[in-house]
Amino acid sequence: MSEASPPAFLDVPALLEGSVPRPRPAWLWYSLLSVGVLVMTTTWSAEGNPELLQVVRFFGGVLMLGLLIGMGLVTSYTVKRQRAEQQRVEAIEELVQLRRWDHAAAMLQGMLSQPTLTMAARLQSLIYLASVLARYHRFEDAIAVHNYLLASAQFDPATTHGIKLMRAMAMLHEDHLVDADRAMSDLRRDAADSAGLALIEIYRDVKTGHPAEAIDVFRERLPALRSQLGHRLGDAYALIARAHDLLDQNAEAAAAFENATLLMSPDELYRRYPEVAAMRDKYPPATPPTGEAA
């Protein structure tokens, strides 16, 4: 007899299916209705008997009190569970920001393996799931999650733009160049001044062997890249270093690589872009100071 294989880690179709919130049972309304019917029928049947009516009134009051307390307890329990779920989502967000991917992945697996309480928590978790999948270089899975999100929910424009950017980057990583080009045209229509889009264009040009074009985009869009990307500007410098390297402009490549590694660790850049990893050890990275005050 063959043993059942353990469930795959971050199995996207299973997580998408398993995390759909269950419709809430309408038992509260049923119980309200039942109590109402019970009180009315007992009152009606005791109409001719004043003593029985007194007893019915008493128990009717107790029942109502019990119902009120019960409703309060149920509401409090539901609110507590929803708050706990929201806190889990916030914890996942922090783990993703701090790049503690393993912890984030484990929490996402746990959270999305069962129906979430709210659709908002599910959608937020799916966005973080896509980031974690991209970190593990599972770009096809990440694209599947992005497509699902864009097809099945309405986000605000900034979030939609962010998801589309991540999807376009994942497409480039998977060499879906036609799809990526279409996605970039779409992004250009939405927000032509987006630094994220500029970074994707630079990556596309480096990847497809057009380093001069990548350098042009970088020069033209540097102010936007600086104001929007923060330390991810290191990504752009690293790709430009590769572009200069492809053009045998070694001095410029070395300078750009030093800037990139001032902002980000070289290992992180090598992990993100195989094209940058191709020039590993060719140019010296910026050396961070060692030691600090106690």
Partner 1 sequence: MISVQEAITRFRRDVTLGTLLRAVLACGVAAVFTLHFVPLGKQIPPALLLMALGAVWLTLWYRTIKGSRLAAESSTLIASGRLEQAEEQIEMSLRAFSMSRSVKSMGLLNLALVRLAQKRWPDTVLLCREVLSVPQKASDHVSKSGRLMLADSLLEMGDLRGAYDALAGLYNHRLTLSEAQNLLRVQTDYLARIGAWEHLFQAVHSKVQLAEIMPPANAARVQAMLALAALKTGRADWANWLRRRVELLVDAAVLTEERPTLRELWDPTVQSSSSSSVAATAMPPAPATDAAPPKLPEPPTTAATDPAAAAE
In the complex, which residues of this chain contact partner 1 (CB under 8 A)? 39, 57-58, 60-61, 64-65, 68, 90-91, 93-95, 97-101, 103, 156, 158, 226-231, 233, 237, 259, 262-263, 268, 286, 288-289, 292-294
Q: How far is the CB of 56 from partner 1 (least distance, A)?
A: 10
Structure tokens at 52: 């029985």
Q: Are 73 and 41 in contact (CB under 8 A)?
A: no
- What's the CA dihedral at 104, 105, 107, 108 to 10 degrees? 110
Of the two residues 179 and 268, which places its CB atom closer to partner 1 in the complex? 268
Q: Is 169 or 263 the residue whose CB approaches partner 1 more closely?
A: 263
Question: With respect to partner 1, which residue has the nearer C-beta, 76 or 152?
Answer: 76
Q: CA-CA distance, 228 to 225, in Å (whole number)?
A: 5
HSE at residue 200, side-chain half, CA atoms within 13 A, is 29
Q: Which is nearer to partner 1, 144 or 253 (CB)?
A: 253
Tokens matching residue 287: 């050396």
Q: How far is the CB of 266 from partner 1 (least distance, A)?
A: 13
* DSSP secondary structure letters along 179-218: HHHHHHHHHHHH-TT-HHHHHHHHHHHHHTT-HHHHHHHH
Q: How far is the CB of 141 from partner 1 (least distance, A)?
A: 20
Q: How far is the CB of 267 from partner 1 (least distance, A)?
A: 9
- Residue of 205, 209, 168 whose CA lies nearest to 188: 168
* Nearest residue (CB) to partner 1, 26 versus 32: 32
What's the min distance (Å) between Cβ of 38 and partner 1? 12
Q: Which CB sits closer to partner 1, 68 or 177?
A: 68
Q: Is the dihedral of CA 227, 93, 190, 256 positive or negative?
A: positive
When the beta carbons of 144 and 236 are compared against partner 1, the nearer one is 236
Whichever of 97 and 147 has its CB closer to partner 1, that residue is 97
